[in-house]
């Protein structure tokens, strides 16, 4: 408790002018590394709930990503994510996804916290056993970050993945829903 009280003045110099004023401007950039839990939700149009059954259709898995973004205004940044995740089926076959996502974020600032609301759109390379596809991926999300200092922020992300696997026969098209919860270290430069 005493240590926390003594450390408060050390970060006061990094505080922006107002309670909700961003400390970033046009051209500032970020890099982040993210790692966490990947939860398969359901498949459309079949309605299969991936985590149901014994054993489940797909297990919870892991996700990791690297991100870069640049501020185009004090509250808006645009960038890219390169990610990877995996889950297992009952036979221990791996469902692997490798998305490349362009994203835009609106940042709500409540110093020392930031709440980015993000929308991403990209391509998702999906591999399962000997099958491989290139899918369309929509990825809205929200995060909560604690601003440690002017260079570093630490937080968590909650992203919804909507993977669209189109087929020449509409009845064979599939739409998968997944949820990502990840922890993040964000570097500002």
pTM of this prediction?
0.81
Taken in order of first residue, the domains within the chain and their CATH numbers are 20-188 (2.40.160.20)
Q: Which carries the bigger pLDDT value, residue 53 or residue 174?
A: 174
Per-residue pLDDT at 66 = 97
Q: Which carries the bigger pLDDT value, residue 135 or residue 57?
A: 135
Token output for 63: 């996700």
Token output for 104: 């835009």
Confidence band (pLDDT; 50, 70, 90) for 21? low
For the residues 142-157, what does the mean pLDDT come to? Answer: 95
Per-residue pLDDT at 20 = 54
Q: Which carries the bigger pLDDT value, residue 52 or residue 147?
A: 147
Q: Which carries the bigger pLDDT value, residue 13 or residue 78?
A: 78
Q: Which residues does 85 contact at the CB level (< 8 Å), separation at least 6? A: 38, 61, 62, 63, 64, 96, 97, 180
Token output for 82: 């390169």
Q: Which residues does 116 contact at the CB level (< 8 Å), separation at least 6? A: 77, 105, 106, 107, 108, 142, 143, 145
Per-residue pLDDT at 183 = 98
Query: What is the per-residue pLDDT across 86-139, written as a single tens digit (0 to 9) for each?
Result: 999 888 999 999 999 999 999 999 989 999 999 999 999 999 998 888 999 999
DSSP 48: -
Q: Quick check: 16 pLDDT over 70?
A: no
């Amino acid at each position: 408790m005493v240590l926390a009280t003594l450390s408060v003045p050390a970060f006061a110099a990094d505080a922006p002018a107002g309670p909700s004023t961003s400390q970033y401007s046009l051209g500032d950039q970020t890099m982040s590394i993210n790692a966490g839990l990947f939860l398969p939700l359901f498949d459309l149009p079949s309605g299969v709930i991936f985590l149901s059954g014994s054993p489940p259709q797909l297990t919870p898995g892991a996700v990791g990503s690297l991100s870069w973004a640049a501020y185009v205004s004090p509250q808006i940044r645009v960038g890219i994510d390169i990610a990877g995740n995996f889950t297992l089926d009952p036979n221990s076959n791996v469902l692997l996804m490798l998305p490349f996502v362009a994203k835009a974020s609106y940042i709500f600032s409540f110093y020392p916290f930031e709440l980015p609301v993000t929308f991403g759109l990209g391509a998702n390379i999906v591999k399962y056993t000997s099958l491989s596809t290139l899918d369309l991926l929509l990825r809205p999300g929200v995060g909560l970050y604690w601003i440690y200092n002017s260079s570093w922020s630490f937080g968590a992300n909650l992203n919804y993945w909507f993977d669209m696997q189109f087929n020449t026969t509409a009845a064979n098209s599939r739409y998968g829903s997944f949820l990502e919860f990840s922890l993040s270290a964000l570097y500002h430069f």
